[in-house]
Each structure stands twice: as C-alpha cells, then as structure tokens.
Amino acid sequence: MLNKFKLISRTKVISVVIVGASALLSACSTDSIVGQAKLPNGVADPELVKTPAGAIRAYAGALARLMPAYNCLIPAAGSISDELLSSSYGGPIGYYGPSYYTYLDSRNITERELNSTRCYSEVNAIRTQTRQAVGLLTDYPSPHSEAYIGHLRAVEAHAQIMLAESYCSGIPLSTVDYNGDYTLKAGSSTHQILESSLTLADSGVAMSADSVRILNFAKITRGRVLLGLGKFRDAANAVAGVPTNYAYQISYTTSEQTFARATGNSWTYTVGNGKGGNGIRFFSNADPRSSAVQIGTATSAFGQPIYYPDKFNRTGTTPFIIASGLEARLIEAEAALSDKDYTTYLEILNNLRRTAISPAMSDTTDPGNDDARLDLLYYERANWNYLTGKRQGDLRRLMRLYGRDQDDVFPSGQYLGATGSFGTAVSMPPSPDEYAFNKHYAGCLTTSE
C-alpha cells in the first residue's frame, strides 16, 4: 500500500505544482511584465493633437493640404484645357508611352484606365483633414476656434469646388469621421456637390465674421459655388465688398512646389498657344496677364518651343493665388451680363484692365452680342485667372450653363502627338482605386458636362 501511496502522492504533488504555477502565470498581467508601450520616437504621439494647441496645429495642417492639391491640379486642369501642353514624349500607349499629362493634353481619358490617383487623393485629403481639424477645434476650443472652424468650412467647400469643376459628375463625398471610423458614399452629381459646398460656404461665412481675411475667402468661395449653380446674381451678392486687391494665396517651400519648377531649358509643360486650333494663344497674344517666355532653344517631344509662364518664378517660389478680388469682380461681371446690364459688365472688365495691372491695359470694347460678350468675359477670365486651376471649370460651365458644344470650348481636332486626335473628355474620372475599393461607387454619372 505504501508504494501506491507514494505514487499517488507524487502525482498529487506534480498536479498541485502545475495547477498552482499555471494559476500564478494566468494571474500575471501582460502589461505588468512587458511594461507600457512607448511610441517609436519617429512617430508623433496622437494624444498630443488632443489639446487646444494641437487642434490649432491640425487647423494649420488642413490649410497646408491646399498646396499639394493645387500643385497637382493646376497642371492637370491646365492640360485638359488650352492652358498647357505636355512637353514630354507622346508615344503610343504602353510602358514607355505617353505620360499622364499627355492623356490629359489630348483629352483621351477613360474611366478606370487613367492613373489619376495623385490629384484626386490630394484634393480629398483636404476634406479629410478639415473634418479632423473641425472635430479637434470643437472638442479642444481656444479663443479663435469658431473663426478657425469657419475658415475650415470654407476650405472644405473650396476642395469640393475643385472636385466639381475638374472631375466628372458623380464624385463620392466619403468622409473620415472624427474620432471614429469612415463612411464611404456613392457618387454625387456636380450639382449635388455644389449644393453641399454652398452649405459649407454658408457656414464659413457665418463663422468667420470676425476675420476679414477669412471672411473674404469664404465669400469668394460662396460666390464661386453660386456661379457654378448658375445663380449669377446671388453669386455677385455673395462677393460684394471683397476688395479687388484681395488675394488668398498659398506660400510654400521650394521643395514642396514642383509644378512651376523648370530645370535648365526644360519644363514638363509648355504654355498652350492655340491648342487644338480653338485654344487661346497664350504666348502669341502677348497678353501681359498671361505672358510667357520661350526658354532656350529646347523643344518639346513634338518639336514645339517650350514656353514658360511669366507669372511664375522658374525656381518654384511664386505663391499660388487660389481666390482673389479679381475673381469677385469677374463674378459680378458675369452677373451683370446675365442681367443684360452690358454697361456694368463692360465697366467691370475695363476697370480691372485699368487698375488691376501695371502698366494699365487698354480698354476692351463691347463685342455687340451676348455670345461674343460671353466669349470676351471668359477670355478675360482666362487671362486674369491664368494657371490658377479655374480654366477647366470655366469651359465646363460654358457647356453646362450656356449650352456651348464641347468641341467649341475645349481643344479639339488633330492632336500633335502620336495618339492622333483629341478625345472627348472634359473632366477627369476619379482614381481607379475609387472604383476598386468603394463598394458604393458605380462610376461617373456623366462625363460630358
């Protein structure tokens, strides 16, 4: 019996030891053993942004997103319109084929085929960041938080205008929710996007009343939205009081801006000079508002001279002006034309020619009929707003609101490069990734307006 006793006894001891040790280990907290995690010092602590000062940094971060978006969108909108032409090789489709901007140049853009992720992402990043910043400013307020929020609402509206003017009808306004998940959405029509932008711009105007600088930006943004909706008089009222010399501009470091940087005698683009036959001859017409200079003797892949716009410094240090008093006056001129107040219309245009540039330009004359007046207005807009990312929106508005044919307003006919002729695109589709990864997204509602 003693052997059996010993056997059982040892088994019991072993069992007790194992159970006891297991219980002890089970009771151990991982945190108490491995310690609290520390963030890598290359990663900013996300908690730091959850303070009033952090919220203001997030606000500044939202404003900073405008630069990369415009750095991308100005040449994109310029290429699909008559402002710019790619100077790179225009070979056939393939690995060494035409660049992204050559597709834009020739308006040969089809949905899903184009690698247009970068611009599209940059514009949407403004929206994402403004929402985060608004959430932070709300939760962690400081004395000027309301004005900052108003500013951000206007900036978000501005970003939506960029989508409405440059991208096809049917862009989704998905959101990254502050302190939460994200919400993917189906496409909104251009009209819906503008309506949504109007709400944001209204909020921007209402909340930024104590800052003239921000208020003027919000007003111009609101006017631009109303202009897109065809509410010309409302648009004019919205921008009333914005000084003509007002400018909302983006400054940046040289390394941030790549669009206007020219190396030696080469530049990625050349200024459009009668692109497609119907484009404005930005170089040849010698208009001081959009003057250009030929750099060296270098030519594009198609043998064309490379023209560089005077308004930019070739080192890439000239700020981008994204909203201005000039724009406000031109909105007022369009409202006057819409009201058939031709005198006011012409006076606004000539007043700008006399006062908004030095030396002053000579007056223009009333062309005599509404179609020609509209042409003149948009010619003036094209020159005043040269390379500010607005030309494509202007041309599309001519189609959408004034019934112009796309081949009349966009470059058309024989394209200089090997792709043959101009296509029919008037807008850019969203990134192929939107089709792939947004289950609610079904594509452009229309690509012809």
CA atoms in the 13 A half-sphere facing the CB of 34? 5
Among positions 16, 138, 185, 372, the unique one binding another protein when judged by CB under 8 A: 185
Least distance (Å) from another protein to the CB of residue 258?
15
Q: Write the binding mask 285 to 324 for another protein: x where contact by CB under 8 A, - elsewhere.
A: --------------x-xxx---------------------
Q: What is the pattern of x (binds another protein, CB under 8 A) and - over residues 153-172?
A: ------------------xx
Dihedral through CA 126, CA 132, CA 137, CA 138, nearest 10? Answer: 130
Site for another protein in 390-419 (CB under 8 A): 418
Least Å from the CB of residue 209 to another protein: 25
Helix (H) / strand (E) element for 182: namely strand 182-183
Residue 262's contacts (CB-CB under 8 Å, 6 or more residues apart) are 295, 308, 314
Q: Determine the interface stretch with another protein among 58-66, 280-288, 331-339, 366-374 (rule: CB under 8 A).
A: 58-66
Residue with smaller CB distance to another protein, 37 or 369? 37
Nearest distance from C-beta of residue 344 to another protein, angstroms: 41
Least distance between another protein and beta carbon 291 (Å) = 27
**Count of H helices and E strands in the chain?**
16, 10
Q: Please give the residues from 79 up to 108 whose contact with another protein meets the rule CB under 8 A.
A: 89, 91-97
- Segment near another protein (CB under 8 A); pick from 59-67, 76-84, 199-207, 309-317: 59-67
How wide is the angle at C-alpha 126 spanned by C-alphas 122 and 128, nearest 5°? Answer: 105
Show Cβ contacts of residue 248 under 8 Å, excluding neighbours closer than 6 positions. Answer: 213, 216, 217, 220, 321, 322, 323, 324
The pattern of x and - marking residues 6 through 25 that bind another protein according to CB under 8 A reads xx--xx--x--xx--xx--x
27 in contact with another protein (CB under 8 A): no
Rg (CA), the chain: 28
Q: How far apart are CA 237 and CA 266, in angstroms?
A: 44
Determine, following the binding rule CB under 8 A, whether residue 255 of this chain makes contact with another protein.
no
Of 198-206, 316-324, 347-355, 437-445, the segment contacting another protein by CB under 8 A is 437-445
Least distance to another protein from the beta carbon of 132, Å?
5
User: What amino acid occupies position 197?
Assistant: S
Report the site for another protein in 263-282 (rule: CB under 8 A). 263-264
The encoded tokens of residue 409 equal 């307003």
How far is it, in rounded angstroms, from Cα 88 to Cα 99? 7
- Give 439's DSSP letter: T
Nearest Cα to 258, choosing from 63, 69, 66, 71? 71
Exactly one of 283, 336, 434, 447 binds another protein (CB under 8 A); that residue is 434
What length is written for the chain? Answer: 449
* Tokens 């065809």 found at: 230
54 binds another protein (CB under 8 A): yes
Q: Which of residues 103-142 bind another protein (CB under 8 A)?
A: 115, 117-118, 120-122, 124-125, 128-129, 132
Q: Nearest to residue 448, comparing CAs of 189, 68, 114? A: 189
Looking at beta carbons only, is 118 or 311 nearer to another protein? 118
